[in-house]
Every structure is written in structure tokens, then in C-alpha cells.
Amino acid sequence: MSILQPPAGAQIEKSPGGLIWVDDNRIIVAVDTGELEHTVEHAKIVVEIFRRLSGNTPLPLLADFTNLRTVRREVREYYSSEECQRIYKATAVGMMTRSVIGRMVANFIMGIHSPQVPTKLFTDPDAAVGWLKAYVPQEQFV
């Protein structure tokens, strides 16, 4: 079970294998529930949810991989692809996990698929949110 919980009143989207919301800090939070093995089609749905929840505004992303079982190579490649980046590109990515498998996947993503945005692995959600806050775009007031 993830220790990340949506704030009261948050719009929560059910994705294939997880839940996604925008927290009070304007950080997209994606929690993998471990219900299924992800496919490229699932990844495309997830990225579209990111785009929709953010209002098509680049925001930082906190992905909780604690319950993740495995991610196939083609799915990792899709998340790192130009196609994916055209649909939605986060300003930074914090990957959080307390599992060995989640840590392996996160390290693989950071090592093999050179992230195009600042990316860091965490075990503590408060540390992850603190780091990601620096990547929240400032509101533009006219």
C-alpha cells in the first residue's frame, strides 16, 4: 500500500494499474497499485491523464513504484520516447519506492534511458515533495 494519499477534494483519475492526482503543491502524483503488468497502451493512457490533469501545463511528477511488479522494456522505452515527451513532459520526476523491484526499475530508467528532465529516486515522500517543489512553475499573473 502506498503512503501517498490524495488531498481532500482532489480529482482522482483511475489509470490502468494505479491512481493519479494533482496534489496541493501542483505536483502530479501517480501511484502504482500493483494490480497489473503495464503495456505500452496503458502507458499511453497514463500520459494522457497527466496531460489532462495538468491542464496541459508541465508540472513535476512523483511516481510511487512501491507496489510495482515489473515494467517491460517497451514500456520503459515509451516513457523515454520523443512521442511521449510531445504529449506530456514533466518539469522533473521524483520516483519513490520502498521495494527492491521498484528501486531496480527506477535505477534502470535513470541509468539506461537518460532522463530529459531532472530525475531522482526517493524512499521518503516528504523528501521527494520537497525536492519537486523547486520544479513547480510559478503562476504567471497579468
The CA distance from 91 to 88, in Å, is: 10
pLDDT tens readout for residues 13-69? 999 989 999 999 999 999 999 888 889 999 999 999 999 999 999 999 999 988 887
- For the entire predicted model, the pTM comes to 0.87
13-135 is a CATH 3.30.1330.30 domain: no
Ordered by start, the domain boundaries in the chain are 13-135
